[in-house]
Every structure is written in C-alpha cells, then in structure tokens.
Amino acid sequence: MARNRGSLAVGAIGTTLLVASVGHHLREVSEVDGVVGPAVALALDGGFACALMYAGWWLERADLLEELKRSVGRWTAAGGVAGGVLALLTVGAQVVEGRTPPEPVFQTLVTIGAVAALSFVAGYYSVSLRQTTRRYRSVFDDTFQFTGLLRPDKTVAAINDTALRFGGLDREKVVGRPFPDVSWWTHSEAVHERVHDALDRATDGESVRYETNVQGADGLRTIDFSARPVDDAGDASLIVVEGRDITARRRRRQHLQVLQRIIRHNVRNDVTKLRGWTEQLAAATDPDERGSHARRVRRILNSWHEMADKLSRVQKLVERDRSEYRTVAVESLVTETVGRQQEAHPEAEITASLPETSPGAVPVAVGGAIDEAIDNAVEAVTDGRPEVTVAAAADDDWVEIEVASDGPEMPDIEASVLETGEETPLSHGRGTGVWMIRMLVTQSGGKIAVDTTDAGTTLTFRIPEGDAGIPGTA
C-alpha cells in the first residue's frame, strides 16, 4: 500500500537533516583536533533529524484520516521553513553587528530540526482535535436520535442537528434557553411540567426515561425521551437528554391492542350471540320468528363487515407516513365534506361555519376524520333531527376544526380514546370509527380535545398548518 504523503514528507525532512548533519560534522572532524565536539553536536542536530524520521514512520501508522496526515506533513514542512528563516535571520543579525557567527551551519540545522519537530507535535495535536471533533459531531449530529447537553440550570449547552430539524428551529434560538421552554415542550402544560420534573430528577443524579408527545415542525410526534446526569465527583455537571421518534411504532402497537380488544371482547360476544340465534333460527317453525332471528344474525354480520372495513383503513393509515399526504385548503375540505355528508344523511342538518379569511391548509386525511365524526354524531341521535356544525379557524401556526353536534354526550370511554389513545374496550361501528378519527388526526400531526355538555358534544381537531397542495408540509 502506498505511503501517505504527509508521513513521507516528515520522514524526508528528517532524512535530509540527518544527511546534512552527518556530512557537516564529518568535515568538522577533518578540520579540528578531536571527535568529541563534532560527536556531541551530531547528537544534538542529528537527534532532531532522527526524531523526525521516527515521527514520519509513526504518523504512517497513526489513527488519523489520510487528509489529516497530509496536514501534519504540511505543519512540519512549514516549521522547517520557519526554522530555516529564523536561523538565517539570526546569523544575518550577527553579521550586521560585526560579529562572526559561531557554527552557523550547526545553528541552522538545530533550529530547523527543533522548530520542525515542535511543529510536528503541534500539527498532530491540532488535527487530532479536529478529527475528534469531527467524529463527535458525526455521532452527535448525523443520527436519527435527538440529542442535547444541558447545564444543571436546565439551559441548553449543545443540541444536535436532528433535534433542530425536527423542531424547525435555529441553533442560536435554542442554545442558552431553558430546555423546557423550547417549543418542543410548550404545547401542553402536562408535558411541560413532566419534562421539568424529569430534569429535576436528573440533576439529583437519577436517570429518567418515558414516552411523551413533543411538538415538531410537522405537528405532534411521540418520542422515547430520556435524561441522565453526567456525574462529576458526585455532582451532575451536565445532563444528557435524548429522544427517539417512536410515533410509527406506538401507532402499530395501539393498532394491535385495538385488534386484540375486538377479537377478545367484541367478536367473542358476537359469536356467543350468533350461536344462540342460529340455534333458535334452526329450531323455529314460525316464519316471522325465523325472520326476526335472521335479521339479528344479518345485523351482526353487517357490523363485522363495517368493522373490518374500518380496521383495514386504519391499517393502511398505520403503514403510511405523514409526508405522503397532500395538503388542501381548509375551506375546500370542510365545504366538500359537509356537502357529501349532507347528501349521505338527508335526515340531519349539517352546516359549515368558516371565517372570511382562509384558516390555512391541512392534510387531506383530516377530511376522513371529519367524515367519521359527523357519522358518529348523526348515529348517536335517536330522536329528532340531528344538527351538526363544522367550523374552522386559524390559531397561530395551527388550524382548529370543530365538529359540534346537539346529540347525547359522548361516552367517557370514547372521549378517552380520542384524547389519549389509551386501550379501551371499543364497541362495533362507533368504537372503530372513534379509533379511526384519532388515527387520522394524529397521523396528520394533530391532537383532539373533547368537550361534552348538556347541549351536545364538540370535537376539536388541532392540526399544524401547511401549504395547500404541497405534500408533507402539514
């Protein structure tokens, strides 16, 4: 394998100096009486030369990038030139002063060798620091994980590029600020308080890890967050914070939990009912009785078909990335959805309430969430004419879409699914529809709030605003 030019340069400088030193002192031996003086002088200037030759050999085997080895070679060569210039200036100054320079060649060889050796050491440590810094930045920045270093007072000392890109933030607006006050944590008071508590515990020497929702440039995401102290003589001199985006993994896990609930609870109960009704159907002789049992069986089977269709749609959502969704203007989305739902539910009064100025744009998937919310609201009303209003408004960089109905209050179990996504025993139709609403909104980077009163139920979808017609911007 060809040797690196940097190590060759260092070795060549040392070899040249050694040859010059040996030649010079051999001439001295022939000119002076004795060899002790020339030998001592050779040990000095030749020592620097041999050191440089060894340095070139050692540099070839050092754990440095090839370009950095060449840089060390340039440092050494520059040092040799600087030493030569310094020696010449010194000799010249002595000549100008009218003094005869003692041993000018020896003085020049020693100066060149010494300055070149010092430059080699300085160059090596300089490029080593550069390589270490580069490796640190590669590990710190070029990862999928959010990483930061905090001071004990919770202010940000360093943050990696991944975290900044995720939040759409500039480094100068993050470094030096209290970590909990960065926009990742300010979307929810509970989230903000919990990260404060985690950092307090880390400052006291405890490692903390939990899952939480954070605010990114494209909406809310779920991360596996951890905070641990860097212990320095019993004190937390720094706090390392890390986060890995587990949104897709958590979504798949929740989807599996829903499937498990349905199979374990709903389907098993329905199978028990079907067994009883089919037995009665087989034993019945009266046509009206047989027709009643058949309608019950058909109703269960239809609910299974509806449930399977919705679960299939949820599965497709789980497998899609948010960036795949095209965005659309909110007013167009709401108007089209309300019109489509009014045709599907002529027995209901479904209206839209939009501001004069455009609220912005959201992923088209949000339209599916509005569809499901209207379907559930209409189906919940058993007496009278259902009334549903869909309203939209802008709130800073967010769009809020409200689906308000005058029907009965939403059951707490369904409200819990919408707001938290916690595993609950969902029922057919409405239950899977509720789960689909949550999936569509969270897939779009948003969150849901449920407000129930005697006057009805209002679902509020809070979605990050994007640019209409552009994939992945919201």
Domain residues of the chain, as ranges?
5-141, 146-245, 250-464
Same fold, 146-245 and 250-464: no
pLDDT, the chain, mean? 84
If pLDDT is split at 50, 70 and 90, which confidence band does 472 have? very low
Cα-to-chain-centroid distance, residue 329: 28
Token pair listed for 453? 């009163």
Q: Please write the tens of the pLDDT for every residue from 44-70.
A: 889 999 999 999 999 998 888 888 899
pLDDT of 224 strictly over 70? yes
pLDDT of 431 higher than 70: no
Query: What percent of the chain stands above pLDDT 70?
Result: 89
Domain 146-245 belongs to what architecture? 2-Layer Sandwich (3.30)
Conformation bin of residue 234: beta by default, left when phi > 0, alpha when psi is -120 to 50? left
Rounded Cα gap, residues 131 and 122, in angstroms: 14
Q: Which CATH number describes the domain made up of 250-464?
A: 3.30.565.10
pLDDT at 1 over 60: no
Tell me the whole-structure pTM to 2 decimals: 0.59
* Residue 473 scores a pLDDT above 70: no
Lowest mean per-residue pLDDT among 142-151, 194-203, 412-421, 425-434? 425-434
Average pLDDT over residues 279-296: 85
Cα–Cα distance between 359 and 338 in angstroms, integer?
A: 17
Min mean pLDDT across 6-20, 146-160, 273-287, 298-312 is at 298-312
* Among 248-257, 381-390, 420-429, the range of highest mean pLDDT: 381-390
| pLDDT above 50: residue 391 | yes
Predicted confidence (pLDDT) at residue 323 exceeds the cutoff of 70 = no
Mean pLDDT of 448-461: 89
Q: Can you give the pLDDT at residue 305?
A: 80
**409-432 average pLDDT score:** 68
Would you say residue 427 has pLDDT above 50?
A: no
More confident residue, 247 or 46: 46
Evaluate if residue 235 carries a pLDDT over 70.
no
